[in-house]
Structure 1
Amino acid sequence: MAVVIVQHAPGENPSTASRVLAAAGVDTRTVLLTEVEGAAADLDGVEGLIVLGGRGSGEPSGAPALLRDALAAEVPVLALGPGARLLAAGSGPAARATSGARHADRAVRLTPAAGTDPLFAGAARPAPGLRPARDPLRLPADAVVLASCDGLPEQAFRIGASAWGIRFLAQDGAADPWTADLLGRFAALVTARSEHTAARAFFTRRAGAWEERFAHQTPAYEAGVARMRLAPGDVAVDLGCGTGRAMPALRQQVGPGGRVLGVDVTPAMLAAAARHGRTRHGDLLAADCTRLPLPGACVHGIFSAGLLDHLPDPYAALREWARVSAPDGVLLLFHPSGRAERAARHGRPLDPADLLAEGNLRAALEGAGWLLEAYEDTDGHFLARSVLRHRARGGPAAAQPARPLPARASR
């Protein structure tokens, strides 16, 4: 994994960014803007982008394919100087225009929104020697302004949750303390988000064809959901739902009075789920499956296909899933292929240390408060059904009354 530095011309010097990120343990590689314009973007192995290049003061004709795809996959982006124009151009239709100013001797100030921004929160006041940008810029309507100064256009902004444009910096990220601190903050953010970045980058590119590619597995998903044995009116969650293939079967099981929630970390997958009509069966939520925005004891059944052993901390995930589950809640781990079949497909033998091996999985589940009731690892499928055990008050699976799912979590 690495941060890719995009520069406009061979003569530009990305050494400051490279040096700061290297000190933070983040690898970098540099590419020219011409190498990523119009070409098929490949975000595999890319943890973040730093965009230095631009075409001067005029509006750019378009953004590099790599930048457009990074925005779609929520790969962290830091666009410096003229690179901020490329970021604005790649973010969709502009709805807000700023006007330029003649004077550039005014101090840049952080806006109130910077205080809660993932990158800017806690940052010092920008150094007085950093010259503001004077030329106008068109930003999308939902862009968040993070730095500005009197009579001059927006100097820093955020688009979405993962892309920042900084206009008052030199193109190469001038070697001043404020810029170095910003780059260090970006390196920390990239590192903290790396696991989710990799997942989003992988699945975003494949989301459009995912449903058609795996439609033949739908009967296997339906058979797996049937093993949950949920009751009408229950709340069911499909974790790592992808395009939501399990949601129709979950809806059928909990009935019209129940609730079905599909959770995934990749917005492109949820968009594909919506295109395929999954919102008729439940609600879709973009969220981290290991840190669910749900109250405790509100879920009666969790269905999770092919997710647990791909998480950075599966043991913490099992504890989190126990937290949101009501007493006697059901957890069904599923895959339409058995472990041996998947290992052979990838050209490797079965690993005794595999988390999904029966003994390993049983221990992991028990440590989080789950009781493994059924374990099947056949050529045709993998299935592990567990229920949440009752424990003494204060334990990881302490019995407590089920609480309702809040309305805001269903949107």
Structure 2
Amino acid sequence: MYQISIVQHSMNTSEVSRWCLDFPRQGQACTVDSLSDGLVFQGWVLVKDGAEAVPYLKLNGEKHYLPLNCQRADVITKVLGESADGHAQLTCGFRHTFALKQDSGVFGFEVGGTDFDAASYRIEGSLRILEGDEGWLYLDNDTNESVEQYQGNLLLDKNALKEWKSYLSAFTSLALEQNIRHTLLIAPSKEMVLPEFYPHEKGRTSPVEQVAGLSKPEHKLVYPVSQMRAMQEQPFRKCDTHWSPKGALVGFKAALEALGLDMEAVDRVFESDVYQESVRGGDLGNKLYPPRRAPEWLLTKVRYQKWVVYDNHLPNLGRVIVFLNEGALLNTKCVIFGSSSSYSFFNYAARIFSTLIFVHSAGSIDAGLLEIEKPEYVLAQTNGRFVVRAPVVTYDLEAEMDAKLDLLSDTQLKDLRKKHQAACSLPDGCLNFDIPSVFSCLLTTKV
């Protein structure tokens, strides 16, 4: 979904006495299909006696005239306060439809052979996008203020640093108490790995670097910026905030190394993987109009969905996905408390651990779930731009699922019930904590 942003200009001409652009309107919602079918430009113009003003649109350097083709009796009576019958400027309106192929343009009037730009419009997505060098796209006005973080204008204060120290210590202690190998993987932001394309200069430090500076060896914190910068392949998707499949593999392997796995054995699992070039959009490219796409290398012949035995289908926080793969490298259980970047390494993780439980919590830990499930490994994962708020080890998955369901519309709940009823049944003994039953009970309470 997009919306129209309009900025009006001052016109230095006395020949045009009044004008109005009825459509498009400021904030008008539109979709890719509606813009491709055509955006309506409708309005009117009144001129002084003897003058002539022809509306135009300037699109991608080309000028398109919008001839006056509509009688506007409402303008004559309401604006001029005169009778519309036989009025000389009765046909003062225009209505034309243009299929747009770019995200901006200029509206104005040609008067006596001279152009007077009256307004400019831009088609914007829900997020503003920064375009760097060579077409690389970055996040702009996100709620985490990633630009301010990168420039060093938004840093963690004493309380925030204290919360991070508490989280790192508590997570480590919890893992030791339950005899679980653990690690915290912070997925670097795109601009930290590819600063050469970013349109802003980096500050002396940033919140994620503050957090990395707090960590001790026993915390097992992994922040694989150097590994990703050293990649010969593309570490991030050009039109997306997330890392590429190969970038995700580098980050995931860094976490596996921190967990103490045999990395030679890990490498053998992935040594036959095949990648194929494909042109794709992304969460940034899709916010532009027209949507932006770019080539990227995708893993082929491996789809983690074949190992999914349960998915509650909640959007983002509170989502739970369970994978079973008897042919995995290790006959062990791993719980991932992750974020959106974790999805990018599911194709790899599902081949390492025979039982994999993913909880979308952005690194926060449900200690009770770990105590019940008793996994051999736990991987907490969050994104670099999220570190302005420290995760917690008091996360309550059941409460999160309940709260998320309260935010869904009736239509969304109906769709979710259908998906959940069609979910695959879990094999006996797969989960100690019966998440499907708990989630079903929560669903039945929502009317």
Query: What TM-score do you get using the length of structure 1 for normalisation?
Result: 0.28
Larger Rg: 2
Greater RCO (CA < 8 Å, at least 6 residues apart):
2
